Homo-oligomer: A and B are copies of this chain.
Amino acid sequence: MVNRFESLDRIFSPKSVAIVGISTSGGGVSNTGKLFLDILLEHRFKGNIYPVNPRGGEISGFRVYPNINDIPQPVDYVISCIPAAHILQLIKDCARNGVKAVSVFTAGFSETGYVEGRELEREIGRLARETGVRIIGPNCMGMYLPKAGVSFAADFPEDSGCVGLICQSGGNTIYTVRAAAERGIRFSKVISYGNACDVNESELLEYFAQDDETNIVAAYVEGVKDGRRFSRALRDLCAVKPVAILKGGYTDAGKGAAASHTGSLAGSDEMWGSLMEQVGAIRVHSLDELVDVLVTFQFMRVPQGRRMAIYGVGGGATVLATDDCAAAGFLLPPLSEEIREELREELRRAFGSDVGTILGNPLDFPPIASSDDVYSSVLRKILGWDGIDLLLCHVPLRGIMLTLPLACAIFDAQVRNVLKIANESIKPVAMVVHCLASAESRQAASRYVAECSEAGLPVYYSVAGAAKAIDRLLRYDDYRRSIGSTTCCNSSHAPLVR
């Protein structure tokens, strides 16, 4: 008899995959099986792939088997796209073949609100427990396991990382992985688990608590099957790893939507709020906040305190950035007169004047492409000053009068120098690329975001988002210390999780 951890662990490294319910004719949206096949090929899945369809035939050079039991080798993982009515028979067939897990993409179960759908889903759960075949879903995207080459979107990264994600919505999983990947996050295991008739949120949290590949956990949850087990699992997980949670269906109308989406009983918002606070989970209210938190916990060293310096270009952007950071609980100690005088001298030497700058904290001075030395020298002075604990730099890409190419020439220098200084320093530095007001500026922003995240810098699309997420990191660190935990957060200025 395998223990709980092993029962799940063995499904996360499939060596062979069958796609049941693939059509040999037609592609596009209506042939989901073919989409899954293309994605596996795109991700260079190394094991055997077995398309299954009663009519047999061939697809993309693969032989199509009429039935899972016609496949001569053992199959580890089955992706099912067949109608709900045939799922029970499929699981029985899978049990005979020794399949470890089936993810049921198919919808039409408890989320329909019909008795038949609810009953069928219960039946599937029962059969899973009886046969030992683990069921993911129904009504889900299944698993993204970068190490195994298993994925459900062609553009998910092929390399793996240390973030574990569980998500009751397939679409929200897909957006979160894509948005986080753009900012440098990589994943250990991602499970889109839908209606959760067998593998459920509590079991997955229990798993992640023990999983050595996972250092940070993110969850989108609409409802839980067993409140008591979930509370316990969440508490235990939070004691050892940071956990960020987005609760879908926190309003009454949202609860109704959640019931129609995954048949979930959403629970009261107060109950969720107090549970998360008690156990030290990080509660977020949007997927973008979730991604901001992941970026922060992955890439930012824990600041030693809340004393922040802000540096960017543009007076108005600087005022608003200051409001956003102060509102999130950061302090902006004024620069000492000594430092200010040094900066003033430096700028006068370089530009002949300090006019049009804000020489304080916040700091606003124009980055001229030709003066890397002044630039890095100024930034080094700020960051080295023992009056601050962290530096936030911001690039308001469409907030200056210049055409985009001219603006980019300026901001290239800013980004280049911030990266250089951040690399030298043990104090944390955050970068914000914001004020994006055209397709072209968003294109340019993507380039900066890629550059920063490749260099291991936490990078954000808004100052408010950055400030809020860094505040979460500091609060989490406080909580962690308060319970005497020593795992995960490294107070000696090393990155939190690498």
A240 on interface, CB distance cutoff 8 Å: no
Task: Count how many chain A residues have C-beta atoms less than 8 Å from C-beta atoms of the other chain.
Answer: 92
Partner of A257, one of B111, B139, B175, B362: B362
**Chain B residue, CB-CB nearest to A156:** B401
Nearest-Cβ distance from residue A154 to partner chain B, whole angstroms: 6
Alpha-carbon distance A478/B401, docked complex (angstroms): 38
A332 on interface, CB distance cutoff 8 Å: yes
Given contacts A155-B403, A256-B360, A406-B28, contact A175 B437 (CB under 8 A): yes
Complex contacts, A173 vs chain B, CB 8 Å = 316
Alpha-carbon distance A249/B320, docked complex (angstroms): 7
**Chain B residue, CB-CB nearest to A439:** B446
Complex contacts, A111 vs chain B, CB 8 Å = 315, 358
Interface string of A81-112 (1 = CB under 8 A from B): 00110000000000000000000001110011
Number of copies: 2
Interface string of A390-432 (1 = CB under 8 A from B): 0000001011111100100010000000000000000000000
Given contacts A169-B314, A437-B179, contact A29 B257 (CB under 8 A): no
Which of A69-77, A129-137, A226-234, A323-331 touches B?
A: A323-331
Complex contacts, A178 vs chain B, CB 8 Å = 398, 437-438
Partner of A154, one of B84, B154, B319, B403: B403
Which of A60-68, A258-266, A372-380 touches B?
A: A258-266
Complex contacts, A316 vs chain B, CB 8 Å = 167-173, 220, 248, 261
Q: By CB atoms of chain B within 10 A, which of A326, A364, A368, A446 has the most?
A: A326
**Chain B residue, CB-CB nearest to A36:** B401
Residues of A within 8 A of B (CB): 28-30, 35, 39, 83-84, 106-108, 111-112, 139, 141, 152-155, 167-175, 178-179, 181-182, 220, 222, 248-254, 256-258, 260-262, 286-287, 313-320, 322-327, 331-332, 334, 353, 355-356, 358, 360, 362, 364, 366, 368, 396, 398-403, 406, 410, 435, 437-439, 442-443, 446-447, 464
12 A–B pairs (Cβ distance < 8 Å), ordered by A? A106-B355, A141-B401, A170-B401, A175-B437, A178-B438, A220-B316, A248-B319, A253-B362, A254-B320, A257-B362, A287-B435, A439-B443
In addition to A139-B315, A257-B319, 19 A-B residue pairs with Cβ atoms within 8 Å of each other are: A30-B368, A35-B402, A155-B403, A174-B400, A175-B398, A178-B398, A179-B437, A248-B316, A248-B319, A250-B323, A253-B326, A254-B320, A256-B332, A256-B334, A260-B315, A261-B319, A286-B320, A439-B447, A443-B443
A-B pairs with the 4 shortest C-beta distances? A169-B316, A172-B316, A171-B314, A251-B326
